Amino acid sequence: MSPNDTSKPASAQWGGRFSGGPAEIMEKINASIGFDQRLFAQDIAGSLAHADMLVAQGILSPEDGQAIADGLDTISREFEAGKFKFSQALEDIHMNIEARLHKLIGEPAGRLHTARSRNDQVATDFRLWVRDAVDGLDEQLRELQTVLIDRAEQHAALIMPGFTHLQTAQPVTFGHHLLAYVEMFGRDRGRFADCRRRLNESPLGAGALAGTSFPIDRQHTAAALGFDRPMANSLDAVSDRDFALEFLAAAAIAMTHVSRLSEEIVIWCSDGFGFVRLSDAYTTGSSMMPQKRNPDAAELSRAKAGRVFGDLMTLLTVMKGLPLAYSKDMQEDKEPVFDANDSLALALAATAGMVGDLEPIPDAMRDAAAQGYPTATDLADWLVSVAGLPFREAHRVTGEIVKAAEARGVMLDQFPVSDMQAIDARITEDVLSVLSIDAALARRTSEGGTAPDNVRAAVAAARERFLET
């Protein structure tokens, strides 16, 4: 057959079994080329590895193998140049590439599919794509951690209120607060790394579901594609999408962390808090109110969590009732994964930009940290460690002192010691040493605590754990 021969077997890719073409609506619902063209590079890589193995095993002649490799190289260059033309009639990325290869090199193109099914082909392509996505997201998470660590070091001693129930609880430092997100995103990286380790097995060679009678070498293709090993069971190889579900689960948890940080940025920027400012680069105005500066980058990042949660639920629902091995339902696996990756990648980029951009307002943070009697716990601790009260009694005494100070409209370090002694005679002037915000902050020296020296040490440790490995 001439390389220029454009003839196709009966009913396109389905060959002689079908004498008629599909209905128009069938063609539309069956086609996936509108989204799975994103697997282009992975499909080329898988085909090159498969052809090389076929030649090595004597299943394909070296001449045909070279023709296939040259043709796939041409197709890759066409794609990179934006000249590759996709056809919905050819359904998916695999048939689009195969049809183009047939036009380029003729008969040898038909031998490429020897000992391979679209079932193991797409499973391989998809694993390769998800693996690349994991690597890209890990780099983005690392970059976000870098920005957070740098800002934490810069603001290791900047006082702000620590909240529980969004009520002032105890003073912390802004650096300590930012390092909490470094830990969260570090766990996200760990989850993606676990996902990558488990997905890194090759389905290629599993065929449609039962393997093949050809003497293939699955170790060869697995190694060529950077997999650790071939998948052990051909049925599992073509029907498993755990790797995609695990990717989506890790993405959903990461988006939860992005959303929480975004929410805090929204709160910190609000007039009621005024803890930070964002520049024009990450805010927008109002079409009616000229004074407005809205933290839209944070709000949009927060909102994208809903998309990723939905993507996870979509694929869980698709997979939950499928028997082994492959069902066409599994064509619906890619769009939620692509969407989740795109949403998370965009949100991570925006979040890293906002963290690097935001300008803390120290006076507002300190004023807020002084509200709500944030050193009450320090008073209770002093009553235990110095005055010798059991903690439950110290808790009660402290509560009475806070109530009296609140009635007088003063903070604890401004409340007369004599009035404290009227509530409990065991209190001495020494109690004043623990009642200021600065003193309370400096005393939090337990491992993982918020004392500025602790934060500086934690910054160095975080750099070593997350950025230097």
Phi, psi of 32 (to 5 degrees): -125, 5
HEC string of 194-254?
Answer: HHHHHHCEECCCCCCCCCCCCCCCHHHHHHHCCCCEECCCHHHHHHCCHHHHHHHHHHHHH
At 159 the three-state DSSP class reads strand
Give residues with Cβ within 8 angstroms of 280, minimum separation 6: none
Phi, psi of 163 (to 5 degrees): -115, 150
Of 362, 359, 363, 358, residue with least CA distance to 298:
358
Task: Write out the catalytic residue numbers.
Answer: 165, 286
143-162: b (≥16 Cβ within 10 Å) or e: ebbbbbbebbbebbbbbbbb
Euclidean distance between CA atoms 47 and 447, whole angstroms: 53
Euclidean distance between CA atoms 427 and 111, whole angstroms: 90
Q: Are 399 and 391 in contact (CB under 8 A)?
A: no
Q: How far apart are the first and last CA of the chain?
A: 55
Euclidean distance between CA atoms 159 and 465, whole angstroms: 26
At 165 the three-state DSSP class reads coil
DSSP class per residue in 26-58: HHHHH--HHHHGGGHHHHHHHHHHHHHHHHHTT
Burial class (CB in 10 A: 0-12, 13-18, 19+), 215: exposed
Check residue 13 and report its DSSP letter.
G
Check residue 463 and report its DSSP letter.
I
400: region left, alpha or beta (phi > 0 left; psi from -120 to 50 alpha): alpha
HEC string of 366-400?
Answer: HHHHCCCCCCHHHHHHHHHHCCCCCHHHHHHHHHH
